[in-house]
Structure 1
Amino acid sequence: MRIICIVTIILSAAYAGAQEKRIDVKKLYRSAEQAYEDASYDEALIILDKCLQENPAYAEAYLTRAKTRERLKDLQGAHNDYNIYLELVPNQP
């Protein structure tokens, strides 16, 4: 019985940590959007890189990073991010 309780506690903590991580990525993404809107493109790029490090399947972060890279004149990087975005969300116009 004691082992079951310990396993339950560990699994609950792991689940809570995963939930917290998702919230952090969303908060990071909102911070990146704000930095982009404020024309702080270098800051936005750093935050978006961190978002994508945490969640490599975050399509919107690739799209925003592509736009950010365009503003920073990194056209090859923007092109790569647009392609990744389209692979993740193929039905977008």
Structure 2
Amino acid sequence: IDEALKLVRNRKYHVISTQTDTYKKKLKNSQETHRNLMHELEIVEDHPVFGYHEDSSNYEGVLALANDGSHMYAFRVQPNQPNLHGMGYGSQDLRLA
């Protein structure tokens, strides 16, 4: 019984240590990805070519961001369907002979 208990205990410790190592690797990878993204963001902020301009006198932008300003950078998709209302397909053009 002692031998079986020892075997189960060793297996349990092995599984826990493997899971811990996997978590550490994922955490390290996540931190590295975060660091790279922050570095890219700093590069974008340093280059006004990308359309970023910091205006310290514009307090409204800061308040909008603080108040859930996710709509500030929303994109509007242009429709690619033609407007069929002006092309003679309306119900007023349907006539029985």
**TM category, shorter:** 0.3 to 0.5
Q: Which has the larger radius of gyration?
A: 2
More helix as a share of residues: 1
Higher relative contact order structure (alpha carbons within 8 Å, sequence separation ≥ 6) = 1
Instruction: State TM-score, norm by structure 2.
Output: 0.40
